[in-house]
Amino acid sequence: MDGAGTVGGAGSVGRDERDTVARGARLYEAARALSANHERAVEAVRAALEPLRDAAVRRELDAIPVSRLQDVTEGRLRLGSVGGSGLRTVGEVLDAGPYRLRQIPGVGQRTVDRMLAAARRLAEAAQETVAVHLDVDRPEPRTTALVAALHVLVEAGPEVRRAVDRAAGLERRLGPLLAEAGPATGRLRMLVAGREGRARALSAVAGVRSLTEEAEREGVPELLAQASVDLLRGPATEAAAWVDFALRSAEYYGLLAEVSGRQPPRAAAEGFLPDEIAERVRAQRLDDTHRRVSLRGYQAFGARFALAQRKVILGDEMGLGKTVQAIAVLAHLAAEGRNRFLVVCPASVLVNWTREIEARSALRVTVLHGPDRHEAFADWRERGGVAVTTFDALRGFPAPGDGGSDGDDGGDGSGEVGLLVVDEAHSVKNPLAKRSQAVARWVERCERALFMTGTPMENRVAEFRNLVGMLDPGIADALGGRDAPAGSVAFREAVAPVYLRRNQEDVLAELPSLQQTDEWEELSASDEEAYQEAVLAGNFMAMRRAAYARPEKSAKLGRLREIVQEAAENGHKTVVFSHFRDVLGVVEGALAPRDGGREALRPDTAAPVFGPLTGSVPAERRQRIVDGFAAVEGPAVLLAQIQAAGVGLNLQAASVVIICEPQVKPTVEHQAVARAHRMGQVRPVRVYRLLAAGGVDERMVRMLERKTRLFDAYARRSAVAEATPDAVDVSDTELARRIVEEEQARLGAAGGSLTTAE
């Protein structure tokens, strides 16, 4: 009776069970298909990488003299007669093989075996350490194949990683359940399964239903389907892949390091932290639900460090992505339910922060700056999200808990600030300054704080101690009054709970040698006034350099000084390009004031200024200026008119490039940057293009990107394009006319006729 009832019952609910299993099976197959598609894409990268890595290993071995084999065997090899055989390098020894080596007079089997074993050890070491670099200006079939394969994964975006992780979890959980639920797909199968088999099948069906419904609620089927579509699009054209690589090469190299398994040494990526702290940081989970960018391994560790330690200084060297790490922390805390965050930064990077958060996360951004900042502050308190403000504006806002102004949350904590981020934190190192006191008050009232600075603060212990004191007074007191030497093991261990710094040379073995950043600045009131006067006059050239017309209040000039200062403190040389001679004069006055003018850079890091190189400087004198710039030990600054220095000079001594304004011809920028980014450059080159939001710069950038980016970036690699840049650029006069007319309309100015004279 029980059996008949069970079978009958099974028949009455069989359709529901079959539908449930069918839905689960479709989800399972979608997960398996995505995993297979992703593995094929990854395997395509590995296949394209292998010959390039083999060639790099071969070049390495061909550069190692045979004598190094003695070092590997601790002097046990006798190589006297090998040198006379014509074998000069380790690569040639491996090519010779055992037979030819045995033909060398005086070389026996034992020596041959030791020699080859030592050569193979060097080959294995080279295999582990060589880095593959992709030269965008000299593409060849093998590098093009790798860029095209990487393009598929990069174009698919970070969503694919999330989808692949979900697919792996579904495969792992659904596979066994679907196998167990098999009898429930037919009445006869249920009948022969027996009592225990039927019970297991029905239990498995319930598990499949639960997993499937959960996945459908979270939109997983659509996520898997979209990821598969993105991966199956196949590689783009070779030209498009190279153009995309040039625009976001860091993403390509990050993915390449991940696929190849070539991550930096763990100790370096973790800032050489003590084991106890490093273990705690590694155990910290990192939620990427609200993040739209993939992280390199060391960046993920930096975000985990900030989360695990709560109040810290992230002191990574410039160019390592401190902003991305901060956004990862914000996104994680938002996923945990925190809904209000505050970023404090110099006015010069306010626009950058806003754009970065919007581009790299799903978080809402509110700018607390300008005349409406108090209304914006009230809106942020009510609606939440990430507020971005300046050091000066912060002083006008009530800190959490001041008079109950920030605690209207019914006591549940939902109104608290989840994270306070302080960018360019070395700006608040003076405890007597009002901005420092305002930041200190906010840090005290917030549960978490993240200070960011690319300046190696440990070189000035007194200043460093002041920053640490805001975050952890106990550690600051432990530092005492002594002047600890930079790099001291004891000093680094003492500050390890609150301080993490990584250097480029330690963690970026495969980073491209060129990184480009658009620095968007918000014009000061004085800048805006000068700009409006130029628009009213219809003077295109005056519009382009209006941001430098009044140096005392110039937002661009302030940011330029900050970049030069940070580069100098890190020992880097900087070249500053502008189209305009008078702009270079303004920059020179700001960096190297004469006649008792105000000091531009701190005395301990002041960088000598060379130039300016202009079209009127004879070629011989130009080279003497460049040679003098290169000969300086440590930081230096070279000022150069972009047309004059863009061709024919070798500026590879510089690893930081600043372009004061966008150029009408993108090829001019490419050629100028190529003076520093060229063969023989031993450091990654960081390029900063200073741009003003909302005016001529923004319109120029948009027009040139929309009209010429693909064609120009592709064509400039041909000999014809290099020789005749005018062939691929937009007409100067036409672009100027359109921009002037549009700006006059935007500002309501009945302007004069177009003027393009300098």
- Residue 414 — pLDDT band, cuts 50, 70, 90? very low
Mind listing the pLDDT tens digit for each residue in 423-465? 989 889 899 999 999 999 999 999 999 999 877 655 567 788 8
pLDDT at residue 245 greater than cutoff 60:
yes
Token pair of 543 as six digits: 């519009």
Tell me what the mean pLDDT of segment 577-585 comes to. Answer: 95
Measured CA to CA in angstroms, residue 467 lies from 311, 350, 605 at distances of 11, 22, 20
- Residue 76 — pLDDT band, cuts 50, 70, 90? low
* Superfamily (CATH) of domain 514-747: P-loop containing nucleotide triphosphate hydrolases (3.40.50.300)
Q: Which CATH code fits 266-507?
A: 3.40.50.10810
Give phi and psi for 323, each to the nearest 5: -60, -45
Measured CA to CA in angstroms, residue 552 lies from 157, 416, 525, 534, 591 at distances of 43, 38, 12, 18, 13
pLDDT at residue 698 greater than cutoff 80:
yes
State residue 710's pLDDT score.
38
Q: Which of 400, 378, 405 is nearest to 449 (CA)?
A: 400
The yes-or-no answer to whether 266-507 and 514-747 have a common fold is yes
pLDDT at residue 717 greater than cutoff 50:
no
Q: What share of the chain in percent tops pLDDT 90?
A: 43
Measured CA to CA in angstroms, residue 623 lies from 103, 549, 607, 644, 682 at distances of 54, 30, 20, 12, 21
Considering all CA atoms of the chain, what is the largest pairwise distance in Å, rounded to the nearest integer? 109
End-to-end CA distance of the chain: 101
pLDDT at residue 101 greater than cutoff 80:
yes
Query: What are the contacts of 56-60 at 24+ separation with CB within 8 A?
Result: 56/130, 56/131, 56/132, 57/123, 57/126, 57/127, 57/130, 58/91, 60/126, 60/130
Query: What are the contacts of 743-749 at 24+ separation with CB within 8 A?
Result: 743/535, 743/543, 743/695, 743/696, 743/699, 744/535, 744/536, 744/538, 747/532, 747/535, 747/536, 749/532, 749/535, 749/536
Mind listing the pLDDT tens digit for each residue in 160-197? 988 999 999 999 999 999 999 888 888 788 878 788 88
Global model pTM greater than 0.85: no
Buried b (16+ CB within 10 A) or exposed e, 324-338: bbbbbbbbbbbeeeb
Whole-angstrom distance, CA of residue 177 vs CA of residue 208: 6
Name the DSSP letter for residue 285.
-
More confident residue, 281 or 135: 281
User: Which residue's structure tokens are 């890190």?
Assistant: 570
Mind listing the pLDDT tens digit for each residue in 6-31? 444 444 447 888 899 999 999 999 99
pLDDT at residue 3 greater than cutoff 60:
no
- Residue 677 — pLDDT band, cuts 50, 70, 90? low
Listing DSSP states for 594-611 in one string gives -TTPPP-S-TTT---EEE
Residue ranges covered by each domain of the chain: 1-262, 266-507, 514-747
State residue 434's pLDDT score.
95
Mind listing the pLDDT tens digit for each residue in 654-672? 889 999 999 887 767 877 8
Q: Is 75 helix (H, G, I), strand (E, B) or coil?
A: coil
Q: What share of the chain in percent tops pLDDT 70?
A: 81
* Cβ neighbours, 10 Å, residue 162: 16
State residue 601's pLDDT score.
46
State residue 336's pLDDT score.
95
Q: Is 418 helix (H, G, I), strand (E, B) or coil?
A: coil
Mind listing the pLDDT tens digit for each residue in 283-337? 999 999 899 888 888 899 999 999 999 999 998 887 688 999 999 999 999 999 9
Give phi and psi for 472, each to the nearest 5: -150, 90
Tell me what the mean pLDDT of segment 411-431 comes to. Answer: 80
The residues facing 388 across adjacent strands are 343, 367
* Cβ neighbours, 10 Å, residue 210: 13
Q: Which of 660, 639, 636 is nearest to 568 (CA)?
A: 636
Tell me what the mean pLDDT of segment 145-165 comes to. Answer: 90
State residue 754's pLDDT score.
56
Q: Which of 380-389, 569-578, 730-739 has the lowest mean pLDDT?
A: 730-739
